[in-house]
Structures are given as structure tokens and as C-alpha cells.
Amino acid sequence: MTTTDKNYSMGKSMKRKEDPRFLTGQGNYVDDLVIPGMLSMAIVHSPYPHARIKGIDKTAALAVPGVKAVITGEDLVAASLGWLPTFHGFDKQMVLAVGKVLFQHQEVAAVFAETREAAMDAAELVDVDYEPLDPVSTPFESMKDETILRDDRENKTNHIFHWESGHQDETEAALAASEVIINEKVYSPRCHPSPLEPCGCVAQFDSMGRLHFHVTSQAPHVHRTAISIVTGIPEDKIHVISPDIGGGFGNKVPVYPGYVCAIVGALILKTPVKWIETRTENLTTTGFARDYHMDVTIGARADGTVTALKVKTVADHGAFDAAADPTQYPAGMFGVVTGSYDFPVAFTELDAYFTNKAPGGVAYRCSFRVTEASYAIERGMDLLAGELKMDPAELRKKNFVQKDEFPYKSALGFTYDSGDYEGTLDHAMKLIGYDDLRKEQAEKRSRGELMGIGLSTFTEVVGAGPSKHFDILGIKMFDSAEIRIHPTGSGIIRTGTKSQGQGHETTWAQIVAEELGLDPQNLLVEEGDTDTAPYGLGTYASRSTPVAGAALALAARRIREKARVFAAHLLEASVDDVEWVDHKFSIMGAPDKSVTMKEVAFAAYTNPGEGNEPGLEASLYYDPPNMTFPHGTYIAVVDVDAETGEVKVRRFLAVDDCGTVINPMIVEGQVHGGLTEGYAIAFMQEIPYDAQGNNMAPNLMEYLIPTAVESPIWETGSTVTPSPHHPIGAKGVGESPNVGSPAAFVNAVMDALSPLGVKHIDMPLTREKVWLAVQNAKAVAGD
Amino acid sequence: MTTAERETETTEVDPTRRVTLKINGKAYKQDVEPRKLLAYAIRDTGLKGTHVGCDSSACGCCVVVLDGDTPVKSCTMFAVQAEGREITTVEGLGQTGALHPLQQAFWDQHGLQCGYCTPGMLMTSYAMLQHHSDPTDQEVREFLGGNLCRCTGYNNIVKAVQQAAQVLRDDKVNQLANAATGGNA
């Protein structure tokens, strides 16, 4: 295989341009930066989930050789740096605990020393006098308001907000009139994105007083603005650099207390400061995900036609309301909970509560609470199919939004751009041999074996987002592109997004190459440096291709328009007579008279023609008119061992429809990765807290991430339904597999256990839980 | 423990020791505390391809190869224990333009995304191929059981290792043929 083919562009599996760097150990991650004289920072964490701080003695820590300073919350408050704004702006978060700690591992003090070892030694010696208080470890305890956790707030209640969408009365009426009703409480457990590179930063002030801040950031421009707001440093004096990032999955979107402390340390000690999280810090203090308790009710007619949907949710937001959600949707895009189905009426409501747990619910490989919504509706549809004794595929087909109904406005107000749900389901059923699998299952059941087939026909909503609906800290969620074509036909592309492994250096080059007829190998992509990149909202929630990808295509088209002028000059024709055909400019009606973009680029700098502005550059900001709605059908086939509770995933097929595909290899890779994370959520990955508020999975020995041994082998397929409002029809795909797959896994296991009468088990479906469910079912049946 | 006792304990830390780390055929002298982990000592030489991901020997981002064929999580070993051993890191495999067949295969098969776990994946695979030139997919998966990946899943990683194994086997056959025929095969 060679990479010399110039015809690599849209739709081609071009090998990634960035890979040689990573393959040879030449990646440039934050922890790789070493500056002479740089200090190391370590953070002191609370062992208690809830405790009053009676005093902090720094003496012993300061006596450790090499230690330069210790800062506490009181010190920060004195400098007006004690509190951080959270995403919503409705709440604020302590940088270092002041007065009391509100969750286990909360940041209490920061130590600066010449070496990492000295900083960590000294952190152990910071003597904090705690008076333990009773912890509140569930939102159900919290809602009693017996212990008010946040006495810094005006409202003396643990209730954070109530949000609702849809029509309550109409939904209740429709449910009352329904011939069949299912109701189930399903829990989407608290989990953590846990990218393999922990979060970290290096803060350095130069001799001009300018802050150069290297940080593991999915959104460097937003971080620059947030740092300016928090510290008061003017934004032009802040240079944020997000170098190679070792995975993000939502975890690297927020601004964390450690970042603020490192900047403060660099400022007061006048020397660079590095802070790299330990894995325990990453798992216990930075952006967790989910923790939604959902009560799902679906009404239907006896023939399976759905009539109404009601979902009531209790959300555990932890100690501060730092959940990443666009402000117009306080529960993110949970409103897509009607999924792929044409519910005539629906109502959803959510109440969020403070608890003594880590704050910061992030969109973990999903777009703002869509994973929870998708899980709720896909479990609900299977429960309904079970109640009606209908095949879950048949039930879904009966209720899909039809492909000629797009744009489709859902009962909860979202306008879906395009889709072909039935086509995708049919394709998946054919690829996996659905009918044969059902026959095999019937045979196995007759022998008492537990085989399950689970479907998920999900609809995602990505591409955050249109500025009328989306912002972070008030900043609207557009994105941007800047393209500069050099005289020799190579170029540089910059966007406001930031790859954390998604392959932007390749796909962005492919989009521009396609639009301009240039060689993608000679289009350099640069992201993550706020001094050079145009302002953008970063990479998360599958927003890069729907938003920045659109900006790139449109910026390239702007360049093409300008290039047409030079082409006309070279062809000695009028601009109106020059057309763009087969990646070249030609004179209309005389296709043999043509010039390439490479020739035109040279002319733009050497021979632009009299009166024409030289140069070939464009920058563009793109505010999308709507979100994009990729969809898919996933099918899991499992065998359950009733004796041990072991679930073997025999097959898993994912058929995704993410609109136009730019690089099939990269899309498939993202699907594989997302499915592996979806598998983790379904079967192993959870951050549980005990009744005393202790985090029970503070490292990767307890927080289980699947290895190559247990990960299933993924089968993939695709259908293509372009987005009508995206310039190249692309919808985004990175989050879909993590959104769509947990329900498919759980549905498959529940299908396997259905002969025993088991209806639902909450994730993660560990062997113990499955075994217990089987034993309980057998006991009930009197076996 | 009183503060005074803690201070005493801190000031009684063993003095540093000089170690010589032989990495990718080159000797690096370094003064280290005996508790210093090999992963950090390697990174302090300026070879940054060896990554630290978990602090608990769970993720495998820090795997290096000792004495040519033994994969070791370098966060599980002290630098002083590596004295006299041959250490191979990802930088010793191959460079851009002259990639090792494993690096080439990971590129060809899209066996990486963010690249953070990749050096560990490559080094574990490299060590495995010294022992098993023709592994089954299941054997590859089990050998990589101590290396976590969050972006890519494992399908393509297994494919990449198999591609490299095939290339290396072919190379061996070609070398044998060349040796037997004096290069005239």
C-alpha cells in the first residue's frame, strides 16, 4: 500500500497522516514538555466525602526539601480566585475547599516543589484537621433536604433544577387511554471517560507577563476565555496550547481546579509549573458521566402502535452543578428520548440534586445526555415488545419515523434532519441473518439454553450546535476554519476544533482536497494553538465534522470562488465562462481548455491579473442551522451461562448511518472504539459509591476497562442518508456506537433471560448480578 | 505520627544512586532515588515515547522490552533494578521512513487513534513476536491482555500484529533463502 496516490479525497480510506509521529514515540503530549526550572505541583485531596475543615497546617509540608509553596482555599479566596464558574453559570465551584469538603478526594491544597516526588511527599504532610459530617450519597437521600450540602447558596435546598419538555396533560391522557402500558425504572450508572492520558497542564509566564498554558484540552479557545474570566488576565495575555491529546471522551472539556492552581503557582513563584494528574485524581475528581435514574412509561395500542411516552429522571450532579450541558437544554439533549419512533405525544421531566460526590457530569463519548436517553427508549421498546409478545424488530418497524417524513418534528420539539430507519434495520437484519438467529434461538430455548438477540435502533443528535440553542459559559457554539493555499499548491488548514485521536489531520485535509482538487498529503492541518487557530468551541459531542467540517467545506468553496478569478485570467476568459469540473477550472463548452488549482495557486501570488487581489486564503465562521441526526441499528447476540452468570457476546453488528463518509477507515475505527466503550458500560465499567460516600473505583484495578481478551469482535456495516443542511452531507459518528450499543447488549441479555421471567437488570451486567437474577427467577418459579 | 517524626522520616530518605540505563543500545547515566520508577527514569532521558497512564500497572502504556524479549511495565520496576539490562523503547523500534514492520502494520491497519497506548501496544507485541512468530488471534489478544486502549478497540490492533507477524516470517524465509543461495535466490 502506498500513499502517493493523489486521488485520495472524500470517501477514501486514506491512511492517517498523523500516525508516524505516534508510532515512533514522537507524539507531543503535555507531560512531554520540560522547561528548565519548572516546578511540579501536587494536590492534597480530602479523604472524607463531607467534613468541616477546622484548620490546615502547612509547616511540615513547607519543610520538605525542594518545596517552594503550599496554597489553600483561604489563600485563593484572599486573591479572589477561590471559585470557578461552572458550565451553566447557574452555579460555581470551589477551586480548593473552603470551610468544608463536599466530596471524597476534593482538592484541598496545592503544593509546589522542585520535583514531582518532593511535591507528592509534601502533599502527604499538609496537616488538615477535618471534622467529619454525615454524607449524602444518593439523590434520593438528598431530596429530603435533611442535610443542606451547599450552605454557600441562597436557596437552602439540595434540589438544583427542574426541567421538563413536552405535554404532561396530553401524555397522561394518552397513557390512560392506552391498551398496553409498560413501566420500568432503569439506571444509567455513574461512569468515567478515563482517557489513558490523564489531564494535566504546564503554566508558564514569559518575561512580558504573558501566560503560555499547555493543557490537555478538547476546547482550547474556551479554556482561554474561561481562564481570563477566572483570573482576570486579559485574553491577549493568554496563549493556550493543546498539543497531542491522549484521548478525551468529554473528560478534557471542563476547566479543573488543578489548572487554576498551576497558573496561580506559576504567577506567584515566577517559574513554570507542571501538573499531571494521577489516575486516581482523574477517576475521582474530574468529569464523570451519567448517573441518571430514569422511570420510563410507554403506552401503546394492542397492535403495538405507540401512543405516548413519559420519562421521569432523577439526576445525581454531585457537589457542584458542573454538568456539561448547553444552557438552553439544562438536561442536554435528553429531549431526543423519543428516539427513532413516531410518538404522537411525550413528556419528560428531570430533577437534579446535589450529593457528596464528585461534580462535573460530562458528555462522555456522547452528546449531552443522549446516551441516557437512547438507553431509556431502547430498553423501553424492548420491554414493550416483551409485553406484547412481539418481535422487537417488528415493533420497531411499526413505529419508526418514515423516511418520507423528514424533516420530522418530534413530540419533544427536535427537528430531525434526515433518516431511513427501516432501511438501516433491514440492512442489519440481512447482514447478521436475523431470521436464522431467531430459529437457532428457538431451538436452543427448547433445550433450556439461554441465547439472546438484542436490538438497538437508535437516533443520535450531534453537531452542537446552533447558536440559538447552544453555548458554554455563554459562548455560542459555532466553529471555524481558516485555509491558506501556498503558491506551490500546498496549504495549511486551521480550525477551532482539537483532535484527541479522531484523525483531523487526515479528514480535514481530505475535505479541503476534495473541494479544491489538491493533494491531501500536502495540506497541513494545525489545531489547538489559540495564537494561530481561529476561535472555535472544540471537539466533543461529535461536533467536529458537523460543525467545523462544514466550515472547512464552505471556506474551501470561498477559496474556489476567488481562484476562479485567477483561472479566468490564465484562461483569458471571462469569470462567468469559467466552471469547476473534475477538480479543475475549464472554459464552459471547451473542457480541454483548463487549469488546475495548483496552477491557479501559483498565479495567485505570481500573476494574479491586473486589478485582482493577490493571495489565496479564506477564513470562515459557521453557525449550523440545526443539529445532525445520525442513526443506526445495532444487533447483539449473546449466550448466558445460567450456572455462572457469564455472558458471552457471540456476535455484535453495528450498522451506522452517519451521512456522507469522509474516510471509511477512520469511521470504522471510531465505531470499534465506541463499541468497546459501550461494551464496558454494559458489562463492567462503573464508579460506585458506598453508603458512606466513598468512591469504590478510584483506580484502574477497580474501574474496569475491557482488554483485548474480553472485547467482542465487531462487525460493521453502513447505510448513507446525507444531512440535507450540511454542505457535504456529513453527520458525525464518534459518539454513536457508545450511545447505541449499551441498550443492544442489555436487550440481548434480557432476551436471553426472558424465558425465566427476568425483565430488567441495571448495568453493569456483571456475572454476579446476572447469576443472582437467574437464581432469584428460579426461586420464584419454584425450581 | 507527629510532625517532627514525619520530618525526620522525610529527611532520612536514602541518597540518590547513580545508575546506567542502556536504552536502545545507548548508555544514559542518571542519579536517581532508589524509589524512582523506571518509566520516569526513561522519560527523564528525553525519550518520551514511554507513557504513564495509570500508576497501578493496569494500562500498559509504559511497556518496554528488557533484554530483547521480555515486556515489562516500566512503572512496575525501579530504575535501579534496570541496571545492566538492555532496554528497548518504542524509539528503538524504528523511525519515520524506516518503520519496523509492527509500526508499519499499525499504520496500515488503523491500529491507533490518540496514540497514547500505542508505544506500549507496540512493545508488548514486539516481545510476543520474539517468542511466537505465528500466533493465533486469541493468543495475540491474551498477550495484549495487560494493555488497555480506549479509542480503537482491539480488532485492528490484532490485525496489525498479525500483519507484522506475517511480514517478519516472510523476511525470515527470505533471509534463509538468501543465506542458502548466497543471495541468488
Tell me the shortest Cα–Cα distance from B105 to chain A, in angstroms: 10
Question: For residue A346, how far is the Cα from the chain centroid?
Answer: 26
Q: Is residue B74 part of a domain?
A: yes
pLDDT higher than threshold 50 for residue A276: yes
Q: How many CB atoms lie within 10 A of CB A66?
A: 15
**B24 lies within 8 A of chain A by CB:** no
Residues of chain A contacting residue B64, judged by C-beta atoms under 8 Å apart = none
Give the closest residue to B90 by CA, choosing from B109, B63, B108, B113.
B63
Among B65, B92, B119, residue at a domain's last position: B92
Q: Do B114 and A280 touch (CB under 8 A)?
A: no
Judgement on whether residues B85 and B116 belong to the same structural domain of the protein: no
Look at residue B59 and tell me if it is in a domain.
Answer: yes
Cα within 13 Å of Cα(A269), Cβ side: 26
| Model pLDDT, residue A90 | 84
Distance CA A330, CA A325 (A): 6
pLDDT of A329: 86
Residue A182 has pLDDT above 50, yes or no: yes
Query: Does residue B127 belong to any structural domain of this protein?
Result: yes
A261 is catalytic: no
Q: Is B10 on the interface with A (CB under 8 A)?
A: yes
In the sheet that A450-456 helps form, which strands lie side by side, from edge to edge? A450-456, A631-640, A647-657, A714-718
With beta carbons less than 8 A apart as the criterion, state whether A612 and A621 touch: no
Q: What is the mean pLDDT of residues A490-507?
A: 97
Query: Binning pLDDT at 50, 70 and 90, where does residue A1 land?
Result: very low
pLDDT, one tens digit per residue, over B3-43 is 555 555 555 555 799 999 999 999 999 999 999 999 999 99
B76 and B108 within one domain: no
ipTM above 0.90, yes or no: yes
A339-363 pLDDT, tens digit each: 999 999 999 999 999 999 999 999 9
Give Cβ neighbours of residue B122 (< 8 Å, ≥ 6 apart).
A23, B90, B93, B100, B102, B103, B106
Q: What is the pLDDT of residues A431-489, one digit of tens each?
A: 999 999 999 999 999 999 999 999 999 999 999 889 888 888 888 999 999 999 999 99
Q: Which of A65, A197, A699 faces B56 most closely, judged by CB atoms?
A: A699
In a domain, B183, yes or no: no
* Residue A318 to chain B, least CA–CA distance (Å): 24
Is A365 annotated in the active site? yes
Q: How far apart are CA A654 and CA A657, in angstroms?
A: 10
Chain B: nearest CA to A501, how far in angstroms? 4
B4 assigned to some structural domain: no
Q: Which residues are registered as beta bridge partners of A493?
A: A483, A525
Name the CA dihedral angle for B177, B182, B183, B184, rounded to a multiple of 10 degrees: -90
The single residue of A365, A369, A543, A560 carrying the catalytic annotation is A365
Residue in chain A nearest B115 by alpha carbon: A22
Does B90 touch chain A if contact means CB atoms closer than 8 Å?
A: yes
Residue A475: count of CB within 10 angstroms of its CB? 16
A341 three-state secondary structure: strand
- Nearest 5°: the CA angle A653, A717, B151 is 75
B47 touches chain A (CB under 8 A): yes
Does B167 contact A at CB distance below 8 Å?
A: no
Per the annotation, the verdict on A366 as an active-site residue is yes
Chain A touched by B107 (CB under 8 Å): yes
Task: Please check whether residue B136 touches A, CB under 8 A.
Answer: no
pLDDT tens column, A408-439 = 999 999 999 999 999 999 999 999 999 999 99
Give A366's Cβ-side CA count (13 Å radius): 36
Rounded to whole angstroms, the Cα distance separating A263 from A204 reads 8
- Gap between the Cα atoms of A693 and A318, Å rounded: 11
Residues of A in contact with B116 (CB under 8 A): 27, 29, 195-197, 246-247
Contact indicator for B16, B33 with CB cutoff of 8 Å: yes
Say if the Cβ atoms of B145 and A59 lie within 8 Å. Answer: no
Give rounded-to-5 percent helix, strand, coil for chain B. Answer: 45, 15, 40
Q: Which of A27, A60, A705 sits opposite B3 (nearest CB)?
A: A60
Q: Of the ranges A463-472, A624-633, A774-783, which is most confident?
A: A624-633
* pLDDT band at B112; cut points 50, 70, 90: very high
Q: Both B40 and B85 in a single domain?
A: yes
3-state secondary structure of A703: coil
Boundary residue ending a domain (B47, B65, B92)? B92
C-alpha to C-alpha distances, A5 to A15, A520, A663, nearest whole angstrom: 11, 10, 15
Site from B57, B90, B91, B116 to mutate, A interface, most A CB atoms within 10 angstroms: B116
On whether residue B132 sits in a domain, the answer given is yes
Q: What is the mean pLDDT of chain A?
A: 96
Q: How far is CA A757 from CA A85, A253, A702, A775, B115, in A?
A: 49, 43, 32, 11, 45
pLDDT over 70 (residue A228): yes
DSSP letter at B15?
P
State whether B161 and B133 are in the same domain: yes
Q: Is the pLDDT of residue A8 over 70?
A: no
Answer for the pair A549, A733: CB distance below 8 angstroms, yes or no. no
- CB distance B145–A195 less than 8 Å? no
Cell 464552505 belongs to: A554
* B140 and chain A in contact, CB less than 8 A: yes
Q: Are residues B122 and B73 in the same domain?
A: no
CB contact B52 to A (< 8 Å): yes
Averaged over A256-280, what is the pLDDT? 98
DSSP per-residue string spanning A637-693: EEEE-TTT--EEEEEEEEEEE-BS-S-HHHHHHHHHHHHHHHHHHHHT----B-TT-
Per cent of chain A over pLDDT 70 is 99
Are residues B128 and B70 located together in one domain of the fold? no
Q: Is A509 helix (H, G, I), strand (E, B) or coil?
A: helix
Residue from the list B54, B89, B113 with its beta carbon closest to the beta carbon of A673: B113
Q: Which of B45, B66, B92 is at the close of a domain?
A: B92
Full-prediction pTM beyond 0.90?
Answer: yes
**A469 vs A233, which has greater pLDDT?**
A233
Those residues whose C-beta lies under 8 Å from the C-beta of residue A554, and which sit 6 or more positions away, are A481, A620, A622, A727
Looking only at the bridges linking them, the beta strands covering A346-353 and A306-316 are parallel
- Residue A197 annotated among the catalytic residues of the structure: no
**Whether A454 contacts A461, CB under 8 Å:** no
Mean pLDDT for B48-73 is 97
Q: Locate the chain B residue with the closest alpha carbon to A280.
A: B54
| C-alpha span between A32 and A18 (Å, rounded) | 17
Confidence of residue A4 (pLDDT cuts 50, 70, 90): very low
The shortest C-alpha distance from A518 to chain B (Å) reads 23
> In this structure, are B121 and B164 located in the same domain?
yes
Contacts of B54 in chain A (CB under 8 A): 196, 279, 699-700
| Mean pLDDT computed over every residue of chain B | 93
Tell me the backbone φ, ψ of residue A204, rounded to 5 degrees.
-145, 130
As a whole number of angstroms, the distance between CA A563 and CA A550 comes to: 20
Q: Tell me the shortest Cα–Cα distance from B160 to chain A, in angstroms.
A: 12
Question: Are residues B115 and B132 located together in one domain of the fold?
Answer: yes
**Cα(A245)–Cα(A498) distance, rounded to whole angstroms?**
9
Q: How far is B175 from chain A (nearest CA, A)?
A: 23
**Confidence at residue A465, expressed as pLDDT on a 0 to 100 scale:** 84
Q: Average pLDDT, stretch A291-320?
A: 98
The residue from A366, A372, A378, A505 that is catalytic is: A366
For helices A421-432 and A434-446, what crossing angle results, to 10°?
Answer: 60
Do B56 and B38 share a domain, yes or no?
Answer: yes
- When divided into structural domains, chain B yields a total of 2
Question: Which CATH number characterizes residue B70's domain?
Answer: 3.10.20.30
Check whether residue B116 and residue B84 sit in a common domain.
no
Exposure b/e, A344-381, CB count within 10 A at least 16 = b = ebbbbbbbbbbbbbbbbbbbbbbbbbbbbbbbbbbbbb
CA distances (Å), origin A373, targets A166, A413, A723, B15: 15, 15, 22, 57
Contacts of B161 in chain A (CB under 8 A): none
Residue B12, in any domain of the structure: no
- Residues 6 or more apart in contact with residue B170 via CB below 8 angstroms: none
Strand pairing partners for A240? Answer: A213
- For residue A2, the model assigns a pLDDT of 35
Q: What is the pLDDT of residue B181?
A: 87
pLDDT tens per residue, range A677-723: 999 999 999 999 999 999 999 999 999 999 999 999 999 999 999 99
CB-based contact A675 B58, cutoff 8 Å: no
Q: Check B144 against A707: CB less than 8 A apart.
A: yes
Considering the domain architecture, whether residues B38 and B106 belong to the same structural domain is answered as no
CA distance A317 to A289: 9
Single out the residue of A354, A540, A552 nearest to residue A462, CA to CA: A540
CA distance A255 to A246: 17
Specify if B173 maps to a domain: yes
Cβ of B153 within 8 Å of Cβ of A673? The answer is yes
Q: Which residues have CB under 8 Å from A747's CB, separation 6+?
A: A378, A379, A382, A392, A452, A454, A455, A456, A636
What's B135's domain CATH number?
Answer: 1.10.150.120
Q: Which of B36, B40, B150 sits opposite A673 (nearest CB)?
A: B150
List beta partners, residue A56: A128
CB contact under 8 A, B116 and A63: no
Q: Which domain holds residue B21?
A: 17-92
Confidence of residue A3 (pLDDT cuts 50, 70, 90): very low
- Are residues B76 and B110 both part of a single domain? no
Greatest alpha-carbon span in chain A: 93
pLDDT given at position A662:
97
How many Cβ contacts (< 8 angstroms) between chains A and B? Answer: 199
